[in-house]
Structure 1
Amino acid sequence: MYDPTRLAALVAVAEAGSITRAAARLGYTAPALSQQLAKLEREAGATLLVRHHRGARLTAAGELLAGRARRVLDELDQARHELAQLAGLSGGRLRVGTFTTAGIHLLPPVLSAFRRAHPEVELAVADYEPPAGIAAVVAGEVDLALTHAYEPAAAGPPPVGVLVEPLLVE
């Protein structure tokens, strides 16, 4: 199994054209990067680089492994991004429906706190006067809606798949 750090080193040398420039790009010393590349060559069982006075170039084996390494590293980056989205809301979009009063008085501090905690989540807010907010959730137009109901009016059960959570009673 190839070490992703060593694969990244090979790709960096391929892109930079020299071990010294690749080391600077990766934040290593040239000798430390050379050691990583030597280990990768041992793991691969082939010479991956030819060093010359102006830098280094990849051998045919190095080109083959660097091409595969780029795909592996891209997949690892994509997996890291997707896991971050699942674990910490580091991406994606949250669509909120609200009625005017809540949108003016209740929602701004909540959205500000959410934005500070999850800066990479795209927020969208739309205005829905009750009971249109619930219909917007059902239709998939918004992910959640703030709405209200008057006590004397019979609210009835929420639509299938919609959870109603009381926030305030006035």
Structure 2
Amino acid sequence: MQNHNVLGVDFISSFGGIHSYLIRARSGNRRVEVHYPASDYHRSISCYKDAAYEKHVVSCIGCYTGASEMLTLDVAVEFSRHRFAYLDAQVATILANPMRYGEYDPFASENLFTVFLPAMFNEDHGWQALHGFEQIRDLAGIPANRCTSLYHAVAITTTNKLQAA
């Protein structure tokens, strides 16, 4: 598997349900954005409404976007592997210091690692994941009981109304 020699992943910033990361690779550094569900407030101020909001915003939840060379399976695997390793180190620190951090369950649903799927925009169908959750999770070596996916494909009907796929 060619992995563009991903050297690391660095968190940059977050706002409105979007977190930006820098993927450091031998082929060059590239920024990607991961997409979480936006708050009701961010939905209310969006320039997209109704079906357009679903197509342009909701269909991207659980995905990451960026330059096309960052959307390959090998980069998706390395992106997830690096992010999980960082989270796992933090969890180990928390579990080793219960007096300082209190009780923590790494298997609780709110503490699961999110595997983001690389996606590209299609004018007819909105954001479409390029690779599957299980495929990325397994290739990255992330335990199934420690992770989740937020992605749900959205299909557009011929009347331009959205339905869950």
Task: Give the TM-score taking structure 2 as reference length.
Answer: 0.23
Which structure: greater strand fraction?
2
Structure showing the higher helix proportion among its residues: 1
